Amino acid sequence: MGAPAMIRAAAALLLVAATPAIAQDGPRFCPNRPSVGTSTCITDPGRVLVEASGVDWQRDGDATSILVGDLLLRTGIDDRTEAQVGWTPLSHLVSRENGLRTVATGTGDVRLGIRRNLRHPDGEGLSIAIEGFATLPTATDGLGRGDWSAGLVVPVSWEMGKWSLALTGEVDAETNASRTGRHPAGALTLGLGRDLADTVTAVVEVSGRRDDDPARAQTQVLTAASIAWEVRPRMQLDLLVAAGLDAQAPSLRIVLGGAVLF
């Protein structure tokens, strides 16, 4: 089964799980986007949250990548659990090495995830969750990892009126650069958020990642600033700008996208 067929099947399962919708006042609307860290909030049962990057541009040394339509579908299984399916329908990578320019265009890997909230599934107050995920090697033109990978994410958030603190820890079994086998990797992200208005939120973050690939172990540190605007109830537009703080991190990343709740 190819990646598009897998995505259609997974999306159909999500839509089946979301029917019939549960009638309630003020459904939760808490996208992961546009932060580097992960949300603790759970999508309501009977709802589907669609998050998408219109354009995700990144500069990393001599390589430039552009992702278009990077999708994440989230739906609640119960009040504290949600299922997730992620996929990139178009990925474009341009790299230069020893004066040789290489271009690759294709689709990305499929990511499947389950999030379970342990405290305050609406993300209010002190909220804690745990999320497991696996990435399946469905990408074309050598753009994906080439083998499966998996990880565990533990996000913690604390809402304090107009301010919020967030901490996300992650441990992974990451695919080797050789495209076969796995190695340990991990990340830690700290974020500070502020409601600028009833419908506008800004977040600044610092994130570090350690990757112990057998071919080249490295540590990356970056900082990011993002802003989200809820243009109408249950619909968001957002922007993220991230910059590397060390030589091994990507020098610049700009992401423009949004989210909508059905």
Q: Parse the chain into domains and list their residue ranges.
A: 3-19+32-261
* Cα separations in angstroms, 88 against 11, 72, 109: 14, 9, 7
Q: Closest by alpha carbon to 40, among 159, 147, 143?
A: 159
Fold designation for 3-19+32-261: Porin (2.40.160)
Bridge pairing between strands 182-197 and 200-211:
antiparallel
Q: Is the pLDDT of residue 183 over 60?
A: yes
Which phi and psi (to 5°) does residue 23 adopt? -75, 125
Residue 2 is predicted with a pLDDT of 52
Please say whether the beta carbons of 238 and 227 come within 8 A: yes
> Worst-scoring range by mean pLDDT, 91-100, 125-134, 159-168, 183-192?
91-100
Give 38-86 pLDDT, tens digit per residue: 999 999 999 999 999 999 999 998 889 999 989 999 999 999 999 999 9
Say if pTM beats, i.e. exceeds, 0.95: no
The proportion of the chain whose per-residue pLDDT surpasses 90, expressed as a percent, equals 79
